[in-house]
Amino acid sequence: MRRLTLFAFVLTLVVVVLGAYTRLTDAGLGCPDWPGCYGFNYVPSSAQEHDVAALRFPDKPVEFIKARNEMVHRYAAGTLGITILLMALWSLRTANRRYRVLTWGLLALVCGQATLGMLTVTLNLLPFVVMGHLLGGFTLLALLFWLLMRTGNRQAVYRGSEVGGCLLLGLMALLLQIALGGWTAANYAAMACVELPVCQGDWLNQWQWSAFHPHGVPAESYQYGVLSAAERITIHVTHRLWAVVTALILFALAWRLWRQPLLRRWGVLLALGVMLQLTLGVANVVLHLPLPVAVAHNAGAALLLLTLTGVAERVWYAREGVWLEARYFPHVGA
């Protein structure tokens, strides 16, 4: 059970990184249909296959590299779906009710992710769908990490409640920041600001709340973005400003974790992760969004979420232990 969960977790991390790579190489529409590619179950490569693809999609010629990136992502995601299905079926043989509930919930989430993947193509990269697909991938990754920790060896855990409120605040701030990052990428606003620390001079007077409309500007295709320059600046600046707020909250949480001996390593990991993520964000602007740095920035967000998930599981498990002790061993507390 644990090995299967570990394989699913690692594969999900790969799928998340591949999704970022696909998006950043503008390969989201590398295959204009779904789940195949130009009507094939693989990337058409021969001249004859290209002719067939041209007949099927005359307005969308085959770009082999983009189609390959898209199909590799789909193959990995399909393998992940099969793996989680096996986990759900295997859970029927176990007596662990929580494991069954979690695995079948994961299967439902994967089905939702597949639907969003289809809509990403059929709706031509509608930003709201693209952002939802990204958030679904991060949610799946965090839940699998939670499940992986739950199936691991139990050790002494934190017993207090000092970090609970700050942890919840940190999770909410980070999730909003990830959503803003997804919205920035979906609307091609990553390079709307190429200066630090300001953005294109007087950005405040260019502020446009319409930049956050869930459906955006009606268009046949949303590839390369359809919003105005002012709207993209608004999105980019919001992502920057909230990154500062999120970093301050997470640094405060890291300090509180450092003060707890059994959670100290999580605090160190969180602080290092925040500093790395801020560095990658600055590098994206200064170096004009190089592909390796941009992919690493996406992976860094995933690692921060995993760190907070790990802390949350430790605190949750500790509180479960306190509740069980109070119920079955009330004399211990006395």
Q: Which residues are catalytic?
A: 70
Residue 322 CA to residue 327 CA, distance in Å, equals: 9
Both tokens assigned to 283: 């590098």
Both tokens assigned to 318: 């500790």
CA distances from 15 to 133, 217, 285, 292 (A): 12, 29, 25, 16
Length reported for the chain: 334
What lies within 8 Å, CB to CB, of 261 at 6+ separation is none
Give the angle subtended at the CA of 84 by the CAs of 80 and 89, to the nearest 5°: 150
Give the angle subtended at the CA of 43 by the CAs of 42 and 46, to the nearest 5°: 115
Is the alpha carbon torsion for 209, 215, 218, 223 positive or negative? positive
Residue 202 CA to residue 195 CA, distance in Å, equals: 12
Name the one residue in this structure whose structure tokens are 């060896």.
153
Residue 140 CA to residue 105 CA, distance in Å, equals: 10
